[in-house]
Amino acid sequence: MATKGKFEPKTPVVLNPPKDDPITPEFLSRCNGIDSNLCYVAIKGKVFDVTGNKSYEKGGSYHVFAGHDASRALALTSTKPEDVRPDWEDLDDKEKQTLDDWMTFFSKRYNVVGLVTSPPSGSTPA
Ligand code: HEM
């Protein structure tokens, strides 16, 4: 329904106020549902808590995203491990729109638990 906006969940989801706690890439990488019970997926540096959704657990269709900033893969509608990267700025407008649509989708379903901190200096810029 147009009045309900895009990407509404089928059943209403009650969300906590978004947090802006710093989350290091190292911590994020452990929140993959295997090394930790936590399961996180980040988009454009915003970390969503997807814990409890089996799609992101080991064996799930979207496990490849767990513990990562998956911006590029989401923008490209790809589940290839090599696309699961945080960099998206060089993509075309259609891909950027796809990414923003995923941001909307996740924002309506999952709590934001923090923001990914910049990688240490000396590493390849995202
Ligand atoms: C054969 C191709 C695909 C099929 C049939 C498919 C099917 C589905 C279905 C049915 C859902 C909804 C599940 C639910 O309601 O819980 C879903 C969710 C999703 N799909 Fe796909 N998909 C496909 C490919 C992809 C690809 C290539 C991506 C890469 C970006 C992707 C990303 C996602 C994501 C992120 C969700 C949301 C999961 C969630 O948080 O609930 N899918 N897909």
Give, for ligand 1, the residue of 8, 54, 55 to mutate: max count of ligand atoms closer than 8 Å to Cβ: 55
What is the rounded distance in angstroms from the CA atom of residue 103 to the CA atom of residue 74?
9
Ligand 1 centre and the CA of 19: distance in Å? 26
Q: pLDDT for 57-90, tens place per residue?
A: 999 999 999 999 999 999 999 999 999 999 999 9
- What is 22-116's CATH topology? Flavocytochrome B2; Chain A, domain 1 (3.10.120)
Q: What is the dihedral of CA 119, 84, 100, 98, to 10 degrees?
A: 150
Per-residue model confidence (pLDDT) at position 5: 85
Could you identify the residue written with the tokens 């979207």? Answer: 62
Q: Please state the atom number of ligand 1 nearest to the C-alpha of residue 102.
A: 35
Contact status, residue 39 vs residue 51, Cβ threshold 8 Å: yes
Nearest CA residue ID for atom 34, ligand 1: 62
Greatest CA separation for the chain: 48
Of 5, 10, 30, 22, residue with least CA distance to 109? 10
Question: Where is average pLDDT lowest: 2-6, 65-69, 75-79, 98-102?
Answer: 2-6
pLDDT of residue 2 exceeding 60: no
pTM of the complete model: 0.92
